[in-house]
Amino acid sequence: QAYARHMKGFHILPVYGGQSMSTQLRQLSRGVHIVVGTPGRVMDHIRRGTLDLSKLQALVLDEADEMLKMGFVDDVEWIMEQSPDSRQVALFSATMPREVRKIAQRHLKDPVEIKIQSKTSTVSTITQKYWQVTGTHKLDALTRILEVEDFDAMIIFVRTKTATVELAEKLEARGYATGALNGDMNQASREQTIARLKNGKIDIAIATDVAARGLDVSRITHVVNYDIPYDAEAYVHRIGRTGRAGRTGTAILFVAPREKRMLRTIERATRQEITSMKLPTREDVADRRVAQFKQQITDAIESQELAFFEEVVEQYQQEHNVSANEIAAALAYIVQKDRPLVPKANEMPAPMEPRRDRDRKEKKPRRDSRDAGSQRATEAGMMRYRIAVGRDHGAQPKNIVGAIANEAGLDSQHIGHIKLHDSYSTVDLPEGMPSEVLQHLKNVRVCNQKLNISTATDNGSSGGDYKRRPKGTLSRNKSAGAKPVKKRTQ
């Protein structure tokens, strides 16, 4: 419509499932020159006889690879079969998988293939970095990044539709204005979310690749790949939501140890190195909160009428014989009580570092993993938990590792020592496990037994030791007075 705005009498009609059918029927009956539609609604109109293709001159299939991923290929082919042989067909696709190429071979006549070589190049104005997922839960890591990064608007990419809603709800609960974008949303809801992102009513959108295609919001300064994409081209499309029109942007990629190969693939395809980043520390978050608090004070002094409050403070000062500094400090405490300027140690435990980043001098001689009868102390940075499944239930260490890794979003390399007993087992996990994750693990089943995970209060009787050596240890901040955390509070 924008392209044809100077062509008088030229009518373009979008047709999709979330729009009123009566409106579409009325406009189709008046006559249109271009119909832009989703496969399902276009098929609906063809079957109704309300969309006449007999005089169709051109048929364009856009985002062919995404149509394939969403399972619309059969619908698209049916539409093509209903169109006259005389029409011209143009097919656009970011990638060219075999199935898409077959469609081109069947429905295009002597086509010319145009390839844009810059598909896998990234914009130089985008700063790219990655965080190697370690024992810290991904949600907590993301929250730290949100606390410290100076962003205007952000889009966070996940792999599944369900994850967009779940992550949006969790970030909302932590105080961030967030919305979800996924393929299950009708067009009206999608447009509403994008409009809210554009006008600043929300600052973060959680999206799947499909839902974010074509998204152009100038406010977006940051892109976070919460889940790593399946290929390099998808990565380029994702981070292309920022750094547009000469503006700068930041792209952050979460990479699990088993995904390092994909990281290297992306670097080779984009011909750019993606630098490693460390998670913000508790001190970094405190510095950021203090800076924001100071800015709030400055803004209030510059823009608000404070005469009444100055009188109140002066009266209190005279009545109680205290200094203005003491009053200001008390007011600051009251304001920040629900969100302390210095996070508590159990609110933000020290992050685990990748193995290669640790001091090699800290390595200790391995103990014999077959020392079945010995009592084992919990390794530094780990905490021992009791789970209600053991040998009598047929449990093996691999069952426990698989269940915890999958359900807790924790990489298996950060699951520590496991000891099997007859009716229960113990397992060492990183300190500071989020309370909601532990609550979820209570109902996870292994060998048809609920784990009912809890902090271990004793070492149990005799049992078989199974030593899993985590590939990361918790960084201990001595100055912060870090202590073992039994329960994580939000």
* Per-residue pLDDT reduced to its tens digit, 189-229: 989 999 999 999 999 999 998 888 878 898 999 999 999 98
What is the rounded distance in angstroms from the CA atom of residue 433 to the CA atom of residue 391?
Answer: 26
Residue count of the chain? 490
| Residue 129 banded pLDDT, cuts 50, 70, 90 | very high
- What angle (nearest 5°) sits at the alpha carbon of residue 480, between those of residues 476 and 484? 55
Q: How far apart are the first and last CA of the chain?
A: 48
* Per-residue pLDDT reduced to its tens digit, 51-95: 999 999 999 999 888 787 777 888 999 999 999 999 999 999 877
What is the rounded distance in angstroms from the CA atom of residue 129 to the CA atom of residue 274?
Answer: 5
Task: Report the predicted TM-score, pTM, of the whole model to 2 decimal places.
Answer: 0.50
Domains of the chain: 12-118 (3.40.50.300), 119-280 (3.40.50.300), 302-338 (no CATH), 376-480 (3.30.70.330)
Residue 472 CB burial class (10 angstroms; 0-12, 13-18, ≥19): buried
DSSP string, 4-25: TTTSTT--EEEE-TTS-HHHHH
Q: Which residue has the higher pLDDT, 297 or 458?
A: 297
CA-to-CA separations, 488 to 60, 79, 166, in angstroms, rounded: 53, 55, 20
Assign residue 245 a region (left: φ > 0; alpha: ψ between -120 and 50; beta: otherwise). left
* Per-residue pLDDT reduced to its tens digit, 409-453: 676 767 889 999 999 999 998 877 777 788 889 988 888 889 999
pLDDT of 479 higher than 80: no
* Per-residue pLDDT reduced to its tens digit, 337-379: 777 777 765 555 555 544 444 443 344 333 333 333 445 566 6
Q: Residue 78: enclosing H or E segment and its boundaries?
A: helix 73-82
Residue 414 neighbours by CB under 8 Å, 6+ apart: 134, 135, 352, 429, 430, 470, 471, 472
What is the rounded distance in angstroms from the CA atom of residue 198 to the CA atom of residue 180?
Answer: 14
Neighbours of 224 (CB within 10 A): 25
Q: Which residue has the higher pLDDT, 234 or 203?
A: 203
Q: Residue 188's pLDDT is what?
A: 87
| Residue 161 banded pLDDT, cuts 50, 70, 90 | confident
What is the rounded distance in angstroms from the CA atom of residue 433 to the CA atom of residue 429?
Answer: 8
Q: Residue 366's pLDDT is what?
A: 36
Q: Which two tokens stand for residue 216?
A: 């152009």
Residue 104 neighbours by CB under 8 Å, 6+ apart: 91, 111
